[in-house]
């Protein structure tokens, strides 16, 4: 059974940083692109970033480019999202996904 479990969310002040993690199991992690997608309360799904199987290609949405960094550890089948210079508008539920399967999300709240 595929499992994706996000962690690391919380309350942070504007300008602060958070590191999200996604622990995975049940599939061959090093064969899949992985992505982060977010959803603000009451809003639609919004793609954030993705990374290829080896960690060599990374793509970012314009609204997070230069502030967020996606990475992965194939040895521990984990996905990460380092979020710096956080803004109020980054507040959302952040999902880890490989496309067909999604985690339950971790909530990030940016507020003073």
Partner 1 sequence: SYELTQPSSVSVSPGQTATITCSGDVLAKRYARWFQQKPGQAPVLVIYKDSERPSGIPERFSGSSSGTTVTLTISGAQVEDEADYYCYSVPDNRWVFGGGTKLTVL
Contact pick of 59, 77, 78, 82 for partner 1 (by CB under 8 A)? 59
105 binds partner 1 (CB under 8 A): yes
102 binds partner 1 (CB under 8 A): yes
Contact pick of 35, 72, 80, 83 for partner 1 (by CB under 8 A)? 35
Q: Taking CA 99 as the corner, what is the angle to CA 38 and CA 11, rounded to the nearest 5 degrees?
A: 20
Binding to partner 1 in span 2-21, by CB under 8 A: none
Q: Return all residues near 66 (Cβ < 8 A) that are at least 6 apart.
A: none
- Token pair 């909530």 in the structure block, residue: 107
50 binds partner 1 (CB under 8 A): yes
Classify residue 13 by burial, with Cβ atoms within 10 Å: 0-12, 13-18, 19+.
exposed
Q: What are phi and psi of 48, to 5 degrees?
A: -110, -55
Q: What's the rounded Cα separation, in Å, for the pair 77 and 79?
A: 7
Q: Candidates 11-19, 20-28, 29-37, 69-77: pick the segment binding partner 1 (CB under 8 A).
A: 29-37
Q: Which residues bind partner 1 (CB under 8 A)?
A: 33, 35, 37, 44-47, 50, 52, 57, 59, 61-62, 95, 97, 99-105
């Amino acid at each position: 059974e595929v499992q994706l479990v996000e962690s690391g969310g919380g309350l942070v002040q504007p300008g602060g940083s958070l590191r999200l993690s996604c622990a995975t199991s049940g599939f061959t992690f090093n064969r899949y692109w992985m992505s982060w997608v977010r959803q603000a309360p009451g809003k639609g799904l919004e793609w954030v970033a993705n990374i290829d199987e080896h960690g060599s290609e990374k793509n970012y949405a314009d609204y997070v480019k230069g502030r967020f960094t996606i990475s992965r550890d194939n040895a521990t089948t984990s996905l990460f999202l380092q979020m710096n210079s956080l803004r109020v508008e980054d507040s959302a539920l952040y999902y880890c996904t490989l496309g067909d399967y999604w985690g339950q999300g971790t909530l990030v709240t940016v507020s003073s």
